[in-house]
A = this chain, B = another copy of it.
């Protein structure tokens, strides 16, 4: 076990000090860590509001209020795993394809070393290069995709990449396993009667918010778990799956979404899957209020770290 630890409020008040995620050391190390918090401050490919590049900063700022033990999951994060704040990756404003290259280059060292990346967007277009790198080392993963939109559009003004298309591209590039992938939380106004059929044709299971309201949290958990099975799993969480009352700071809000409590309840049900990576995207601080959305995003990441810790704990327990 490495010695990367959060600074505690007993060492320095929470409001004091350099803001890294959960006050972890900031390091570009790839040794001795299980996970790395990675900021990807790209917002060049959004179809409505921009400003998501400031998301990682805002999430870090509020993450200092998090404490290391997750009572609901009964796990102390740093008792079982260790990690760093890797800082932010380089992006190239105005050039999404070059940005993808940069992201892939800078993420690779982590993935090659078996470290689980937990990324903070940025807009949703950043998930594609993450999935590419992961597929290169782990093979294609099952995708658990929380969002109010499917993001499986064909193109945008003739171009393949923007925040509305990554999950079409991911299937086309065979870097995920659509037959084990699931899109959760879809709602809002759509372009046509067969709005979600495109996603289904690509192989995704689509669970709309309306369906979730019918089935309840436990059933949804079961559906997700069954879908992904024993595959490697990547979780991508678009903050707009939450209702804008709970996450006003985002780019394409849709009314009628989850409370943050509802989202967290579902994530907590996803223990012991074979996680290879996570991200939280579309936090837009300039539209936030008193950092509410950033705080929520920090809590979502916290639950992801808890899932990593639980897996690690089980592994450790099994080894002993």
Residues of chain A touching chain B, judged by Cβ–Cβ distance below 8 Å, are: 8-20, 26, 39, 41, 43-51, 53-54, 56-57, 60-61, 65-72, 74, 76, 85, 87-96, 98, 102, 125, 156-159, 161-162, 188-193, 195-196, 208, 210, 243-246, 248-249, 252-253, 255-257, 259-261, 264, 286-290, 292, 295-296, 299, 302
Contact = CB atoms under 8 A, between A and B. Distances in A.
A248 B289 contact: yes
B249 A256 contact: no
B14 A48 contact: yes
| Number of copies of this kind of chain in the complex | 6
A93 to B, nearest CB: 5
Contacts of A93: 13, 44-47, 50, 156, 162
Nearest to A58: B61
26 contacts: A15-B48, A16-B89, A16-B90, A18-B85, A44-B50, A45-B94, A47-B93, A49-B286, A50-B53, A65-B253, A67-B188, A68-B191, A68-B192, A70-B190, A94-B94, A94-B125, A94-B161, A95-B157, A102-B157, A189-B299, A243-B259, A256-B259, A256-B260, A257-B261, A287-B290, A289-B289
A208 to B, nearest CB: 8
Contacts of A98: 157-159
A53 B286 CA distance: 14
A94 B155 CA distance: 12
B44 A94 contact: yes
A47 B93 CA distance: 7
B159 A18 contact: no
A90 B157 contact: yes
A10 B92 CA distance: 11
A143 to B, nearest CB: 22
